[in-house]
Structure 1
Amino acid sequence: MWAINFHRVTPHPKHRHFAPTTTAISISIDWFWRRRHCPSWTDLHPELVGLVLRRLPSFADRVRLGAVCRSWRRVARQEPLPPPLPWLTLLDGSFISIPSGEIHRMHVPNDVFIHGSVGQWLLLRRLSGKLELMNPFSKNVIKLPKSANPCPTNSILYKLVSLSTPQDLSLNSLFVVLTTSMVFKSVISICRPSASIAFRVPDGEIRDIIFCDGKLYALSSNKLFVLEIGSSYQGKPSISSMKCVSYSVKNVMIDRSIDDKSYHCVYWSYLAEYNGKLFQVRRLVGFLSTLPTKDRIKNTRTFSFEILELDMTINSPNKWRRLDTLGNQALFVGTNTKFLPASECGDQKDCIYFVCDDEHGIWDADLFRDSGVFNMRNGTITPLLLDKPFVRPRGYGGCPTWFFPTALYSSIV
């Protein structure tokens, strides 16, 4: 450090307020020395930047860190990171972080309804009924054939799964689209952008579909099916068989007394995959038995969850085995249910995150009227968001859906 000596000079009283003191000069010199000799943030070792990134569960915060300088951006793009907390895709085309409620806006067409996601691709339904996938970061679009939606004006449930990894989606990828009509008849369409074939489910309504360990599964109210996918001589995809591999408790209306009040309840079922294993998520929802019919949908609430694992070694028609814990996993339930390692992504372990995903709902109802975090250990439900945002309705159709961003982009506002 420089050795600089000062002696105090007493100024004329007239100019006393203009004369810098020794203390002020010392502070100025010290600041100047630090500015010249302290390392820049850009010189921070890449390993330290990587440590900071891994401690940021927010996808948006990771993008902001990468935008500081080129060296940090390079680390952000190359560092192997745990999955961040997902976003919620809202009906007005915006995205929201949990639990902060921070809103991010990216362009989504105005004439679409959002019905889920596959990786970083959103499943969109145009007003005409046509289905397409859009990456909100790159703006790339994959249009599905018109026949992928056999009931364009009469469907209330849409679900898409990819038989390719989300990172490898292309015009040659094979997709499976589930649509269910208002009379609860389901159609499973196997398609690629150039061709498709529709398979009308003989069992009636299908609640969910999933691709797990190389097999396509479909869940009805009380059966689990495996579908065999093949190709015709013309190269069109086809479903060659549909086989029941397990039964389960049928989802029927039941009466429950909760907090000394009478509720009409039913289980909603979802399928999830983790490490090649198949799980069924049963969500108990209900409404007060005294409510008039017109108010029941708006006042439906979630009470609890059950997790079942498929175990083909069970010597019984019902091969679902109940689990009491998720371990160190967190589960995000919706049209694209997914497990994430809680210890890495920053969410609560052994907890289930859920939103109101009832597509039979009323278009102007509160989108967060039935959302929260269910703790598997003590059975409590806590709020999903610190503050609920106002979401502008976009007409009938669609529901909030989980969106799982992975790669870092600089296009977030």
Structure 2
Amino acid sequence: MAAQMIASAAWSKLPRDLLWEIYARIASPLGRVLFTAVCRSWRVVRSLQPPPPTIPWLIISPREGGTAKRVLCPVDGALLGVPLPPVVVGTRLVGFHDGGWVAATSSVVPLSVKQRTTPWIKKLVFSVAPTLDRCILAAILADGLAVCRVGCGNNSNQWMLQSFTSSYDDIAFCRGKLYGLLRSDLFVHDIHMTKQGNPVINVARTLRLSQLPKCERMGFDINYILKHGDKLFMAKRAWCSQENKGFFFKVFELVKIRNTRNYYRWAELTKLNEHALFLSANCSRMVYMSAARRGRVETNHIYYNNVNLIGDDKSICSGVELTRCGNGQHLYCGEDRKFNGADIIMAVRYYVPSGDHNNLMWLLPPDF
């Protein structure tokens, strides 16, 4: 007993700068919890400065015990149970915001009485943090867009709809505007506020873009756009036909062409450097990862999930079963095929080989 007390005292007297260096290298959320549980002096280190950014978690189960969703922490493979309010259980997840915010819907958007249609939400994005009154929600519908301010449950603050002939592949807020991606075309919407404080979408204008860098073939029009800082990025599935190699991702940054007026181009990125890219139908995020971080998630990699990509089986070299998720389905993880001599960003896919599992989605939890 005396030896244990001496050892405990020795651990508690370690220099704080050394303890912070150790804490900053812990990628696992469970590891961080265990770190702060050692003793009071270690818990104090946690509060000395902002923690390293968290890595997105993957929501893999629509329900568990009727009151929770399960999430996978990819840095260490740990499974976490996330309790949910009963009203949310069984709903579809359609969007997210940093800090653990998730948007869920049963099936329809609550439109005003004058709008008789009840469209189905494909994806929802936030303009700013949902805790702010000026936060605007934008939703992709089957035939257009809908916008509203946070807290649209009263009669004076309703969803406003704008119809289109087709649905966007993806949308994102960036620099105060709403961007919509349809295959390789990029559209911009200005949003103005009515006297009642409701947002209204202006008619889309097409952004003037130079031609995309040549790809042998795009794969099934699987396209993503996302904001990182004040920049806009796009990720597209491409096909390498040499020796029937398979699919991979191309990543582009939207940049303005010098000495031109309102003319842009997609500049291809061959490396993500200290970042990793997380893609899913309802949540896409680029995350900075310090070189000191440890775990199964690597920099300069893309981590993605899609449901039932037809013809995409050959793009996975090998799959490792991670866990069993809802309805008896199994979640697998596999690295995309490596192409000799091809300058591509390596990607890792999380997938369910059979059935419809639409709730696979990344979640960016609070920093802790």
**TM-score, normalization by structure 1:** 0.65
Q: 1:153 to 1:373 in 2, by over 3 A?
A: farther
Aligned-CA RMSD value: 4.0
Q: 1:383 to 1:272 in 2, by over 3 A?
A: closer
Alignment identity in percent? 21
> Which residue of structure 2 lines up, in the alignment, with residue 83 of structure 1?
53
Is it true that 1:277 corresponds to 2:242 in the alignment?
Answer: no
Q: Which moved more, 1:224-233 or 1:341-350?
A: 341-350
Equivalent residue for 1:326, pick from 264, 267, 272? 272
Deviations 1:84-126 (A, max 9, x none): 2221012331011114321100212433222332111111123
Q: Give the deviation of 1:186 after TM superposition.
A: 2.6
1:131-170 pair list within 5 angstroms: 146-147=110-111, 155=120, 157-160=122-125, 162-164=126-128, 166=129, 169-170=130-131
The answer to whether the 8 Å contact 2:61/2:359 transfers is: yes
> 3-state SS of the aligned residue for 2:257?
coil
The answer to whether the 8 Å contact 1:355/1:372 transfers is: no
Q: Give the deviation of 1:383 after TM superposition.
A: 5.2
Deviations 1:281-303 (A, max 9, x none): 112379xxxxxxxxxxxxxx971
Unaligned runs of 5+ in 2: 63-68, 311-325
Matched residues in 2 for 1:156 and 1:72: separation?
45
- Give the AA of the match of 1:340: V
Q: 1:384 to 1:67 in 2, by over 3 A?
A: farther
> Which residue of structure 2 lines up, in the alignment, with residue 178 of structure 1?
139
> Which residue of structure 1 lines up, in the alignment, with residue 359 of structure 2?
399
- Give the AA of the match of 2:305: V
The answer to whether the 8 Å contact 2:272/2:299 transfers is: yes
- Give the AA of the match of 1:159: L
Matched residues in 2 for 1:211 and 1:328: separation?
24
Deviations 1:242-294 (A, max 9, x none): 221135779xxx997xxxxxxx94231101222311111112379xxxxxxxx
1:243-282 pair list within 5 angstroms: 243-247=205-209, 265-282=219-236
> Which residue of structure 1 lines up, in the alignment, with residue 287 of structure 2?
340
> 3-state SS of the aligned residue for 2:190?
strand
> Which residue of structure 1 lines up, in the alignment, with residue 322 of structure 2?
none
Matched residues in 2 for 1:84 and 1:284: separation?
29
> Which residue of structure 2 lines up, in the alignment, with residue 211 of structure 1?
173
Is it true that 1:123 corresponds to 2:103 in the alignment?
Answer: yes
The answer to whether the 8 Å contact 2:36/2:43 transfers is: yes
Is it true that 1:352 corresponds to 2:299 in the alignment?
Answer: no
Unaligned runs of 5+ in 1: 1-30, 131-145, 257-263, 287-300, 409-413
Q: 1:89 to 1:180 in 2, by over 3 A?
A: same
The answer to whether the 8 Å contact 1:190/1:196 transfers is: yes
Q: 1:358 to 1:235 in 2, by over 3 A?
A: farther
> 3-state SS of the aligned residue for 2:208?
strand
Q: Which moved more, 1:203-212 or 1:350-359?
A: 350-359
The answer to whether the 8 Å contact 1:356/1:369 transfers is: no
Matched residues in 2 for 1:209 and 1:44: separation?
49
Matched residues in 1 for 2:36 and 2:116: separation?
44
The answer to whether the 8 Å contact 1:351/1:374 transfers is: no
Matched residues in 2 for 1:383 and 1:368: separation?
13
Is it true that 1:188 corresponds to 2:168 in the alignment?
Answer: no
Deviations 1:322-358 (A, max 9, x none): 2222222211112221111233454322211111257
**TM-score, normalization by structure 2:** 0.72
Q: 1:69 to 1:340 in 2, by over 3 A?
A: same
> 3-state SS of the aligned residue for 1:106?
strand
> Which residue of structure 2 lines up, in the alignment, with residue 111 of structure 1?
90
How many residues were matched structurally? 323
Matched residues in 1 for 2:116 and 2:333: separation?
28
Matched residues in 1 for 2:273 and 2:333: separation?
25
Matched residues in 2 for 1:78 and 1:342: separation?
20
| Higher Rg | 1
Matched residues in 2 for 1:336 and 1:342: separation?
18
The answer to whether the 8 Å contact 1:223/1:248 transfers is: no
Matched residues in 1 for 2:263 and 2:168: separation?
19
Matched residues in 1 for 2:255 and 2:193: separation?
30
- Give the AA of the match of 1:96: L
Q: Which moved more, 1:109-118 or 1:309-318?
A: 309-318
Q: Which moved more, 1:203-212 or 1:50-59?
A: 203-212
> Which residue of structure 1 lines up, in the alignment, with residue 247 of structure 2?
303
Q: Which moved more, 1:311-320 or 1:347-356?
A: 311-320
